[in-house]
Every structure is written in structure tokens, then in C-alpha cells.
Structure 1
Amino acid sequence: MLYGDNATHFYTSWTTDNFWKTGCFNVRCPGFIQIDKRKIYLGGRVSNISVYGGPIFEIPITLTLDPMTKSWWLSSGQTSIGYFPAALFKNFESASVVGWGGRTRTDVGNTSPEMGSGYFPDRKMTHSCYFRSALIEDESRKIFPPKPDQTSSFSDVTKCYGVIYYGDQGGYLGAVLLFGGPGRVCGD
């Protein structure tokens, strides 16, 4: 286990080759530069956890390209957490693919953990993990929600975890993506 417990943690990771030879979580190796360590720090436990059918807690997250430095800045609300330096990635002055979702991890042969509330997405944001107001920014700095034909959903173990992009729901919700699942015995 990365943190030695079963709690939910705020983390980031990077790789240039899908974690074959490069990549790192948080600041465990050179890469992500964390500038705020008092309000939000990578690896920190998330204390307010939503409950199925009950209270919902949200964390506002943005990842933005600085047009001058070409570094990618991670922020939560008005707090800049840190950045991925431009030198970390070759030719990464723009992104042709953007992803939202979740990740679980267990040792081979062990039961896979729940993701989110442990329920598959079902159009009800009170039932599974979600992203709302999922937006992308193009080269001209225009911000917009991805159209359904611009998206694809991926789960490497569909019997244990699901993901559905519902598109732009308008108003407060904006573009919505729901994901999660019960885990259990998922295979290798």
C-alpha cells in the first residue's frame, strides 16, 4: 500500500510511458513541485468523505497549462498546490487526451477494494464518485465541456468498476462523469 492504510488520500502521479520506466506518485521522486504544504499537501488524507445517499463533499480541482512557462499547474479552488515543470515531459505544450477517474490498488491475489461508495455509476450523483463541471481548454484558451463524441470510457476490470460520461447536464452540474464500483475478486 502506498500510504499504509485504507483511507482516501489526495494524490497525483505522472509518467511519460504508462509507468513502465518513468513515473512517480506525489513528490516521492523529482517531478511535481509542491508549493503549498500548509493547506493542501499531496498524500494527505481526505477527511470529509461522502456517504452513499447521504452528505456529499466535493474538492474543486483544476490542472492548467501556464502559457508562458508551459508548466502544468494543479490547484484546488483558489489554492495553487504546485506544478509539473515543462521539462518533465517532452513536447507537452498541449494535451491531445485528458482523463478523469479513479484508481485502486491491491497486491495480486488479494480482494480489490471498493472505489468510491462501492456502487456502480447509475446517473445519481449521490450513489457513486463523480466529477462535475469537467472542462477542457483548447489552444485559443476557450473553455468547454467535452462533447460525448469526443470521449471514451475505460475500465480495466468492468465486473468490478464502471465509468459513464453523461455529457453536459447544464447549470451547476455542467459536464458529469460518474465512476466507481464494488471491487471484490477482480482477477490479476
Structure 2
Amino acid sequence: MEHPVDQPPKISKCQAAVKTLKVAGMTNRSAQLFGIYANISAWGHEHIKPDAYSATIMQVSNESRRPTFPSLYNDNKLHFFAQWTTDRDWRTGCYNMDCPGFVPFRNTRADMPIPGMVVDAVSSYGGADSSMVLQIVKDGRPGVGNGDWWLYRVSGPVRFPLGHWPAALFTSLSRHATVAAWYGAVGFPPRARDEPLPAMGSGRGPGEGYARAAYLADIRLMDDMANPVDASMAYVMPLANAEGCYKVAMEDTNGPPYTFFYGGPVSHAC
């Protein structure tokens, strides 16, 4: 497809450097999806190397985020980020507002997150529990959302628009998505066998639960009128490709909405 602006998309230097991606989370496949929702716990990592990252991601796609990302931000702090692409190889798209694509809401409140900003309120092991409720939704309401993909921060019954990705950026995603995913991720370039991999989530395994393990809580999908829909466990499946290092576990519950814990420590095992 043609990019809807004259400038070529900018690919970050870390996208070019990262060759290996390890994930742990959940995914939901459906014929049509119009959005995704979750309460995301916030954890920082002080010792991520400049060529690696550790992130928590919620995404919609038609394929079968809050990161600690040193080479993108030149620090080891937790950042709120937005990201888009039209291909799996990152020939298009970018993070935050490094290229035309994500359009920030013009009247966002001063206390609302902006893509790329530092998140100061983070959780601590056995102590403070800091989280943020986010929603991505294809808002098809006439005269309201215009079919664009909107990013909201949710606080109780109120949702605050942070910005949108115009539908014109995408091909099949301009109509709907088919895959929703909530997961932790670490990325890194090829490493020596004895070089450790980054921590994911809180740096602890999911079995430690609240106040110790990272979580994605109250995971939901959205319908075509921007209303929340509980995800059916018949279609929610684990998403993990390095279970020796990074694990995921669903909270024991009688029904939706669902919560899961994920993560793992710095490791030499994978």
C-alpha cells in the first residue's frame, strides 16, 4: 500500500539491532475484532543493556506497549509508548511520533500519558502496585471515531482520548482485526552463550501473584460500537516461546474478566 504521507517511515535503530524476541502472555483469535482493553501493571528495570528492551504490550493485528528501551530513549526508565506497522518486517511504521502516523489528541489533559514519556509511578516488589488501564478501539461510530484506531486511558467510568492511528495507514486492519494479544516481551541481538537475557515483567515468575509478579488484568475485547466484551476462554490461548525463562499463568477465577501474571528473572537458560 502507499504510505498516506510524503515522508518515509522512520525505523528506530533498536528495531534494526534486535534479532531475538521472547514473549509470554495471552492471545485471542476471532473472525472480527474491534479493540482491546487491559489494566497493565508498571515495572521498571535499571539494568537493561542499550541494545535490548523489556516491554509490556497490548496489540491488535491481522497476523497469525510500556517498555524499558535504552537505545530508543537513552535511559533505563519506564516509558509509555505507541507503535504501528503495516508489515511484520518493520519496513513501515515507527514508535511514538518518530514518523507521521499516530495523531495525538489535541486537548489531552496534562496528567495523561504522551507516547515516549517517562512513567514515574512504578510498582515495587512486595510494595506499591502501580498500573494503567488502556484501551485500543476501532471507533466506527458515525461522526465520532471515523473508523480510526483510538488509544484511550481509562479511569473508572471515564475514558480519556490520547490519540489515534488513522484507518488510512492500514490495509486489512482498516476494517477490523483478527488477533488480540496481551504479553510481556524482551528483545535483544545475538549474544554470547554466557551473556544473560533481560528480565521480563517484575523480574519474577507468575506464581508469585499480586504485588510481586507483573500482570495484565481485566483483559477484554471491544465491539464495533466501542463497547467492552469479555474475552471467551474458549478462544484465549497462551502465547509463549521461551517457557524455560519467561512464563505465563492465568489467575484462578470463576469467570471473566480474566487476569494473568507473566514474567521471569535475568536468565542464562534460554
TM-score (ref. length: structure 1):
0.85
Query: CA offset at residue 133 of structure 1?
Result: 1.4
Amino acid at match of 2:184: G
Measured after TM superposition, the shift of residue 123 of structure 1 is: 6.5
Counterpart check, 1:80 vs 2:161:
yes
Cα pair distance change 1:167/1:82, threshold 3 Å: farther
Identity, % of aligned pairs? 29
- Note the C-alpha offset of 1:59: 0.6
2:147 aligns with: 70
Distance 1:5 1:156 in 2: 27
Aligned residue in 2 for 1:3: 73
Give me the whole-angstrom Cα distance separating, in 1, the residues matched to 2:118 and 2:93. 22
Number of residue pairs the alignment of both structures matches: 185
Q: Letter of the 1:54 partner, please give it.
A: G
Alignment RMSD (CA, Å): 2.4
Q: Is this contact kept in 1: 2:81–2:116, CA < 8 A?
A: yes
Q: Distance in 2 between matches of 1:167 and 1:149?
A: 16
CA deviations over 1:130-180 (Å, ceiling 9, x no partner): 12111112347663221222112222322222223447656xx83112221
Q: Which amino acid aligns with 1:6?
A: N
5 Å-filtered alignment, 1:38-187, equals 38=110, 39-67=112-140, 68=142, 69-77=146-154, 78-92=159-173, 93-109=175-191, 111-122=196-207, 124-139=209-224, 143-166=228-251, 174-185=257-268
User: How far does residue 29 in structure 1 lie from its aligned partner after superposition?
Assistant: 1.4
The 2-side partners of 1:86 and 1:3 are apart by 28
Q: Which runs of 5+ in 1 are unaligned?
A: none
SS of residue matched to 2:130: coil
Partner Cα separation in structure 2 for residue 155 and residue 79 of structure 1: 32
Which residue of structure 1 lines up, in the alignment, with residue 4 of structure 2? Answer: none
Per-residue CA deviation, residues 61-105 of structure 1 (Å, 9 max, x unaligned), is: 111111141111101123211111101111222221111122233
Q: Which amino acid aligns with 1:42?
A: P
Structure 2 unaligned regions, length at least 5: 1-70
Of the two structures, which has the highest relative contact order with CA contacts closer than 8 Å and spacing of 6 or more? 2
